[in-house]
Amino acid sequence: MNVRLPETASIPERIAQLRSAMKQAGLAAWLVPSADPHLSEYLPGRWQGREWLSGFTGSVGTLVVTADFAGLWVDSRYWVQAEAQLTGTGVQLMKMFGGQQSAPHIDWLAQNVPAGATVGVDGAVLGVAAARALTDALKARGVELRTDLDLLDTVWPQRPSLPTAAVYEHVAPHASVPRAQKLDQIRRAMREKGAQWHFISTLDDLAWLLNLRGADVNYNPVFVAHALIGLERASLFVVDGKVPAELAESLARDGIRVEPYAKAADALAALPDGQTLLIDPRRITYGLLQSVPASVGIVEAVNPSTFFKSRKTEAEAEHVRSTMEQDGAALAEFFAWFEGALGREKITELTIDEQLTAARARRPGFVTLSFATIAGFNANGAMPHYRATPASHSTIEGNGLLLIDSGGQYLSGTTDITRVVPIGTINDEHRRDFTTVLKGTMALSRAKFPRGIRSPMLDSIARAPIWEAGADYGHGTGHGVGYFLNVHEGPQVISHYAPAEAWTAMEEGMITSIEPGIYRPGKWGIRIENLVLNRSAGKTEFGDFLEFETLTLCPIDTRCVALNLLNDDERAWLNAYHEMVRTRVSPHVSGDAKAWLETRTRPV
């Protein structure tokens, strides 16, 4: 029997203990994805095993361990961070590059694990699509895949338990569509697919569908649960005690029964013979799907709720507009404080997070941040997912550029904004890069496009001015944003790294970020991000067209702009944007914040 390590054990000790457990189980390799049983982007503590084993704190990465190798695969957003955090751990940085056609860790396993050996992974956190790709690649090389083990339970002392925060109702006026009406939408979609049952594991889909929210995942107001939706009844599988009795009664009135979280697999196993289950293969784990009897038919499609929640109603869009005014006011208060305090008191990247969070917390309806604030000064800003820590952060002094990427969760919407401001004296190269990124942001913000166009195809509009300058960036240009839900949601994504599949089509009511950038490692990073809403741009003989309404309300710092690089149309857009920001945010601020707003929105 393995002896559990103390929680303070070093990363090499943890890897060694894992190898011992692998040997006892007869495994040549063990795979640890960044995933939970709901295939979430941000994970509750119980499923942060990749971080515990490797020491890498980024949100995305895949760890592979064999008897003589440990490697962590991450994309370019995390290369600098991973290189620093993996130093001395014995875990090797494995760089992923944009445009790779298959998961590189799968290719590595297929090439390096000997025929006849076994690779293990916890099937409870392995997506169906990933499991199929892994099975096919390994089978072709005579390697077996085992998915019935969870070695983390063996090697991780004091592993966090399931989260227990209470579930609560998102109520009117902010929840403008009753859950009974949303359930009717889902059931119509089920009938169209010929399905009598639909299983949902995606946490934000569940929160949207049931008008419920929670606090099980940092920054995302969701709760850990599964749901099985039938044509007449539904079950919500959630940890005991999380749903108050009064809320359970309300759910029961809508035909939803609250059941223990662990019973989800049993419910799938008990589905009637000959009936059909609708699942999203990208959003259900291999372990859960294995519970479904062979006598039950399977229909695979994107969760209908993913489409429905992406298309905000007009009432929701109006709430978001109001939220943006409040968020813009918080930002005005913060920047007024920042510019007044700069050079007079010590300000660090951590101070920025504290002050900006406090400014948002004073606004009505604020619940929490929508992600961990990124405040990166100079070289730190060149790491797109940098995060300051008490042990490693910069003081804001001297000359250069400060990048701040932040957002809030409000009862009436979710915000996400990036701004870059000058510190001390900046040079022409700073301004050239900033203006180039701004031109990319404006180019896409001003675009019109056919309704239904696949969202990845819009990526090049923002990149064109940046490519023209001989630069590029290694992340996508835009992601969908939820309504008091996850700051990252689908189905739309503006990124040439993503496949342009039919389900990525742009439709009216979607909220998406526009956030091109330029990053010069060791020097500075620039990203300018606004959220935009898809709205109708009219109909011609060529079809329906859409355009973007810019939602975010915060000045773009014109002190960083090389005005000679802007054409007349771009200057007009920037001035019109600043006029809108001033008009809508001014009623919510006073004093220094209002004076700051007036100064930073002057026309150029």
d(C-alpha 302, C-alpha 89), whole Å = 39
For residue 491, say if its preceding peptide bond is cis, omega within 30 degrees of 0: yes
Instruction: Provide DSSP, 428-441.
Output: HHHHHHHHHHHHHH
d(C-alpha 465, C-alpha 118), whole Å = 49
How much is the pTM? 0.91
CATH superfamily of 311-600: Creatinase/methionine aminopeptidase superfamily (3.90.230.10)
**11-155, which class in CATH?**
alpha beta
The mean pLDDT of the chain is: 94
d(C-alpha 484, C-alpha 42), whole Å = 16
| pLDDT above 70: percentage of residues in the chain | 98
Residue pLDDT, tens place only, 427-474: 999 999 999 999 999 999 999 999 999 999 999 999 999 999 999 998
- Structural domain spans, the chain: 11-155, 168-309, 311-600
Which of these ranges, 157-166, 197-206, 476-485, 510-519, has the smallest mean pLDDT?
A: 157-166
Residue pLDDT, tens place only, 278-327: 999 999 999 999 999 999 999 999 999 999 999 999 999 999 999 999 99
pLDDT for res 4: 44
Confidence of residue 596 (pLDDT cuts 50, 70, 90): very high
pLDDT for res 548: 98
Q: At what angle do helices 349-361 and 314-341 cross, to 10 degrees?
A: 130
d(C-alpha 526, C-alpha 59), whole Å = 21
pLDDT for res 2: 39
pLDDT for res 276: 98
Residue pLDDT, tens place only, 540-576: 999 999 999 999 999 999 999 999 999 999 999 999 9
Task: Name residue 544's beta-bridge partners.
Answer: 539
Rounded mean pLDDT, 334-355: 96
Confidence of residue 98 (pLDDT cuts 50, 70, 90): low
**Equal fold, 11-155 vs 168-309:** yes
Kindly state the tokens that stand for 212.
Answer: 């419920």
Q: Which of 277, 138, 267 is closest to 194 using CA atoms?
A: 277
Which CATH number is associated with domain 168-309?
Answer: 3.40.350.10
341 neighbors 378 (Cβ within 8 angstroms): no
577 neighbors 558 (Cβ within 8 angstroms): no
CA 40 to chain centre: 9
CA 244 to chain centre: 29
Residue pLDDT, tens place only, 26-72: 999 999 999 999 999 889 999 999 999 999 988 889 999 999 999 99
pLDDT greater than 50 at residue 351? yes
CA 207 to chain centre: 16
Confidence of residue 480 (pLDDT cuts 50, 70, 90): very high
145 neighbors 118 (Cβ within 8 angstroms): yes
d(C-alpha 470, C-alpha 389), whole Å = 33
